[in-house]
Chain A
Amino acid sequence: MWGTYWEWDARLTSVLILFLMYLGLMALWRAVEDPSRAARAAAVLTLVGALNLPIIKFSVDWWNTLHQPASVMRMGGSTLDKAFLIPLLVMAVAFTLLFVTLHLAAMRNEILRRRVRSLQMMQASRVAFSSGVGTGSREENASKGAA
């Protein structure tokens, strides 16, 4: 559109920061083993990352770089020709629906993952109980575990 693959333009750079935040969020979520602690840390990072959203929206108005000023959602209506605006809006709706569908499917997977985790913990506690680990003192359990 602008005759370049990459430019340190305000919109492109702010979206790159958002992308890096998403990667950081995914890494943080996977780095912490306990899901409730991971969820708390991810929630804090999400709230901090949300500060970037208005910066992305208004970056084209605040900084005069390669990207054109706001042309779709602006006072006085869109400046785009209908030949571009209609396909753009159709695809925006399509990708939003795709995102919602994938998000719901991923939520179902996460519920299953947590169910598997709790069953695995139940299995581990049964094994520990049947082998006698966990019924004695801490020192006794440690020596049983070592044996």
Chain B
Amino acid sequence: MTMSLGPYAPFIVTSYAAAALVVALLIGWVIIDYRNQTERLRQLERSGITRRSARSAVDAP
């Protein structure tokens, strides 16, 4: 069963496609940003730079 969109079909389809693209880009942006930040944090911690709270937990007897 197909839905007949009439003469406004190009406008409707373009609008839905644009909205879906923007939402997908937003979700992708947030996911990629999270991966980048966790990777940079991991690199810094690997090179021995840690937060004071993490250091005190390690240094504690």
Contacts and interface: CB of A to CB of B under 8 A. Distances in A.
Interface in A105-147: 105-106, 108-109, 112-113, 115-116, 118-120, 122-123, 126
B37 A116 contact: yes
B49 A119 contact: yes
Contacts, number: 39
A98 interface: yes
Range of interface residues on B (Cβ < 8 Å): 10 to 19
Q: Is the interface of A mostly helix, strand, loop or mixed?
A: helix
A7 to B, nearest CB: 14
Given A108-B34, A109-B34, A126-B49, A115 B41 contact: yes
Interface of B: 11, 23, 26-27, 30, 33-34, 37-38, 40-41, 44-45, 47, 49-51
Interface of A: 5, 98, 102, 105-106, 108-109, 112-113, 115-116, 118-120, 122-123, 126
